């Protein structure tokens, strides 16, 4: 299947060189996409800039009605999009379906919230003055997304952007562009005017560079690695763009001895192995109170052994392939390093044929191991022990990242104490899956800038205008 760029509502790029998108489970070609570059990126900006003039002037009701129509089509095409996602990204089909539903949750929520972009009036110092605060869309938004959530990373940016009156130019990840293109095709079918949502695939650097230097692009919203995020932040400085960055994480999970044991095991499992460990909120290190550590580690190893690894389109598969060779090598490196430094492999620890890696549980992890400091982005679960709450908090905070953290305890006081002292943007308190369309997702420290989801996520696409009226 040959996919196209979509610029100003037109499918284009057939004349360009084409890039193959492969299935990480089988190596088969899933489809091709055009290798766009600076020219196509600029054409997309031209289209978005023109479309902004009319789209931003529609009423919130007119805009959100179109977004709701897009959401309806997404619902109708859930299985089709999920299957495409499994083919290009690898995650098990049921999980892919879950992602499409989660992704569409952003469209649905912002199709409502777009009607509630309220302003303010503020009491003035003198009787003759009035202070009004308006919010208006920032303009053309560049959206650059990663491969681990091919649908959700698009919708949680594009939903609030277009609901607020912005228009967008999207560059999806080169490894997983097909899901994104399919969704943008549906935008046209839903009646979203040409030019409001544009998508360009190809040379990441050239496309990014073009959008960064263009003054008409007023906002950049990016999810991906910290390294590329920093580059984009620097690149956006010359035109002083608004920026939102969702970057890497290194999520700790703190398990107290009074935690509901079975629930904590179950949640650590799901928060670790979702997408084969390839999400920025996946647990990277588990701190278990020494009193229950051995039992907890055994339970995790036992459950991990039961996970079925394989092609995500096969029935009953829990863990799909990793995205590419580099991803597999990183897990191998982290496991080897941990073994060299004294960790014990309770289960797994081996690569399988192709891009598959066994779910792996390590006990005796120490703070100097690579896996305790760098994002593994794979099915590796290192476990370490602690004695006191403050020790656990200090070690959990000892990182440049600050995206998600998890806490398990039956004591409200302990739970709130730990949650308040963790330097993380998201804390799952007895909750292994905190992400949700109506809540603000984002990180402290080098995990990012800005929030996605909820009304906070809408504000990222709005400028504040203060109108001062003198009646005298
Ligand atoms: P990941 O490996 O998690 O996808 P990356 O940060 O490498 O993280 O990539 C995230 C997105 O950023 C992808 O769409 C990628 O193509 C794009 N990208 C990578 N390098 C650049 C760059 N220099 N300029 C603009 N976009 C980039």
Q: What is the pLDDT of residues 321-330, one digit of tens each?
A: 999 999 999 9
- In-domain check, residue 203: yes
pLDDT at res. 33? 98
pLDDT at res. 442? 98
pTM exceeds 0.90, yes or no: yes
pLDDT at res. 198? 99
231: Cβ below 6 Å to ligand 1?
A: yes
Nearest-atom index, ligand 1, CA of 209: 24
Q: Where are the beta strands (DSSP E) in 104-179?
A: 120-122, 129-137, 140-144, 167-171
pLDDT at res. 28? 98
pLDDT at res. 220? 98
CB of 424 within 8 A of CB of 402?
Answer: yes
- Distance of CA 9 from the midpoint of ligand 1 (Å): 25
- In-domain check, residue 322: yes
Sheet of 129-137, strand order:
120-122, 129-137, 462-470
Nearest CA to ligand 1 atom 22: 205
- In-domain check, residue 442: no
Alpha-carbon span 108 to 161, nearest angstrom: 13
The CATH number of residue 364's host domain is 3.40.309.10
Q: Which domain holds residue 286?
A: 251-429
**Are residues 236 and 276 located together in one domain of the fold?**
no
- Minimal CA–CA distance to 151: which of 203, 88, 245, 196? 88
**Are residues 225 and 273 located together in one domain of the fold?**
no
For residue 39, what are the CA distances in angstroms to 16, 20, 47? Answer: 11, 21, 12
**Are residues 270 and 346 located together in one domain of the fold?**
yes
Alpha helices in 25-131 (DSSP H): 38-55, 60-76, 78-89, 93-113
- Distance of CA 48 from the midpoint of ligand 1 (Å): 22
**Straight-line distance from the first to the last Cα atom of the chain, in angstroms, rounded to the nearest whole number:** 67
140: Cβ below 6 Å to ligand 1?
A: no
The CATH number of residue 465's host domain is 3.40.605.10
For residue 256, what are the CA distances in angstroms to 238, 260, 289, 454? Answer: 48, 9, 5, 31
pLDDT at res. 308? 98
pLDDT at res. 466? 97
Q: Has 280 been annotated as catalytic? A: yes
- In-domain check, residue 434: no
Nearest-atom index, ligand 1, CA of 147: 4
**Are residues 256 and 238 located together in one domain of the fold?**
no
205: Cβ below 6 Å to ligand 1?
A: yes
**Are residues 107 and 128 located together in one domain of the fold?**
yes
Given CA atoms 457, 458, 463, 465 in this order, what sign does their dihedral have? negative
**Are residues 136 and 29 located together in one domain of the fold?**
yes
**Are residues 56 and 129 located together in one domain of the fold?**
yes
Nearest-atom index, ligand 1, CA of 174: 16
The DSSP 8-state label assigned to residue 192 in this structure reads: P
225: Cβ below 6 Å to ligand 1?
A: yes
CB of 45 within 8 A of CB of 170?
Answer: no
For residue 152, what are the CA distances in angstroms to 82, 142, 156, 232, 379? Answer: 12, 16, 6, 21, 21
**Are residues 196 and 303 located together in one domain of the fold?**
no
**How many C-beta neighbours within 10 Å does residue 339 have?**
14
- In-domain check, residue 53: yes
**Are residues 97 and 109 located together in one domain of the fold?**
yes
Write the ipTM: 0.95
**Are residues 149 and 285 located together in one domain of the fold?**
no
- Distance of CA 211 from the midpoint of ligand 1 (Å): 14
- In-domain check, residue 436: no
**Are residues 382 and 301 located together in one domain of the fold?**
yes
As given in the structure block, the two tokens for residue 221 are: 């919203």
149: Cβ below 6 Å to ligand 1?
A: no
**Are residues 222 and 259 located together in one domain of the fold?**
no
Q: Has 246 been annotated as catalytic? A: yes
Best residue among 24, 143, 173 to mutate for probing ligand 1, ranked by most atoms within 8 Å of CB: 173
CB of 402 within 8 A of CB of 412?
Answer: no
- In-domain check, residue 440: no
8: Cβ below 6 Å to ligand 1?
A: no
Q: Domain count of the chain?
A: 2
Nearest-atom index, ligand 1, CA of 223: 10
- In-domain check, residue 437: no
Q: What is the mean pLDDT of the chain?
A: 98
Each residue's pLDDT tens digit, 253-275: 999 999 999 999 999 999 999 99
**How many C-beta neighbours within 10 Å does residue 390 have?**
12
Beta partners for residue 385, in sequence order: 288
Beta partners for residue 383, in sequence order: 286
Alpha-carbon span 427 to 435, nearest angstrom: 10
Q: Going residue by residue through the chain (472 aa), what tens digit of pLDDT does each one get? A: 999 999 999 999 999 999 999 999 999 999 999 999 999 999 999 999 999 999 999 999 999 999 999 999 999 999 999 999 999 999 999 999 999 999 999 999 999 999 999 999 999 999 999 999 999 999 999 999 999 999 999 999 999 999 999 999 999 999 999 999 999 999 999 999 999 999 999 999 999 999 999 999 999 999 999 999 999 999 999 999 999 999 999 999 999 999 999 999 999 999 999 999 999 999 999 999 999 999 999 999 999 999 999 999 999 999 999 999 999 999 999 999 999 999 999 999 999 999 999 999 999 999 999 999 999 999 999 999 999 999 999 999 999 999 999 999 999 999 999 999 999 999 999 999 999 999 999 999 999 999 999 999 999 999 999 999 999 9
The three-point CA angle 231-173-36 to 5° equals 90
């Amino acid at each position: 299947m040959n996919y196209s760029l979509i610029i100003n509502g037109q499918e284009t790029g057939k004349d360009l060189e084409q890039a193959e998108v492969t299935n990480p489970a089988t190596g088969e070609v899933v489809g091709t996409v055009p290798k766009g570059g600076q020219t196509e990126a600029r054409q997309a900006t031209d289209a978005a800039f023109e479309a902004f003039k009319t789209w931003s002037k529609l009423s919130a009701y007119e805009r959100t009605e179109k977004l709701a129509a897009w959401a309806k089509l997404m619902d109708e095409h859930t299985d089709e999009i999920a299957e495409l996602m499994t083919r290009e990204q690898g995650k098990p089909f049921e999980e892919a379906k879950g992602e499409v539903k989660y992704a569409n949750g952003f469209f649905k929520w912002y199709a409502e919230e777009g009607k509630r972009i309220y302003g303010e009036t503020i009491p003035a110092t003198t009787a003759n003055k009035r202070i009004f605060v308006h919010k208006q869309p920032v303009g053309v938004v560049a959206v650059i997304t990663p491969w681990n959530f091919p649908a959700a990373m698009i919708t949680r940016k594009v939903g609030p952007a277009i609901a607020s009156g912005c228009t967008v130019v999207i560059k999806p990840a080169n490894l997983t562009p097909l899901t994104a293109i399919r969704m943008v095709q549906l935008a046209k079918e839903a009646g979203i005017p040409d030019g409001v949502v544009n998508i360009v695939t190809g040379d990441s650097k050239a496309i990014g560079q073009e959008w960064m230097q263009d003054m008409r692009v007023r906002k950049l919203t990016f999810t991906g690695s910290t390294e590329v995020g920093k580059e984009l932040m620097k690149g956006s400085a010359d035109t002083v763009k608004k920026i939102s960055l969702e970057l890497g994480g290194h999520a700790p999970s703190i398990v107290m001895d009074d935690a509901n044991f079975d629930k904590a095991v179950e949640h650590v499992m799901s928060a670790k192995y979702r997408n084969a460990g390839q999400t920025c909120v996946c647990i990277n290190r588990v701190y278990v109170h020494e009193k229950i550590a051995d039992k907890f580690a055994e339970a995790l190893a036992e459950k991990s052994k039961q996970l079925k690894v394989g092609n995500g389109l096969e029935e009953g598969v829990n863990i799909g392939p990793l995205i590419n060779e580099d991803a597999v090598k990183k897990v191998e490196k982290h496991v080897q390093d941990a073994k060299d430094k004294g960790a014990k492999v309770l289960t797994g620890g081996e690569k399988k044929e192709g891009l598959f890696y066994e779910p792996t549980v390590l006990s005796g992890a120490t703070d100097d191991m690579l896996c305790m400091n760098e994002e593994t982005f794979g099915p590796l679960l290192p476990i370490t022990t602690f004695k006191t709450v403050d020790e656990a908090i200090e070690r959990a905070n000892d990182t440049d990242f600050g995206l998600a953290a998890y806490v398990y305890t039956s004591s409200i006081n302990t739970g709130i104490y730990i949650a308040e002292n963790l330097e993380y943007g998201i804390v799952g308190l007895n909750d292994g899956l905190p992400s949700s369309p109506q809540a603000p997702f984002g990180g402290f420290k080098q995990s990012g800038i800005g929030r996605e989801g909820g009304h906070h996520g809408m504000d990222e696409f709005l400028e504040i205008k203060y109108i001062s009226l003198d009646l005298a």
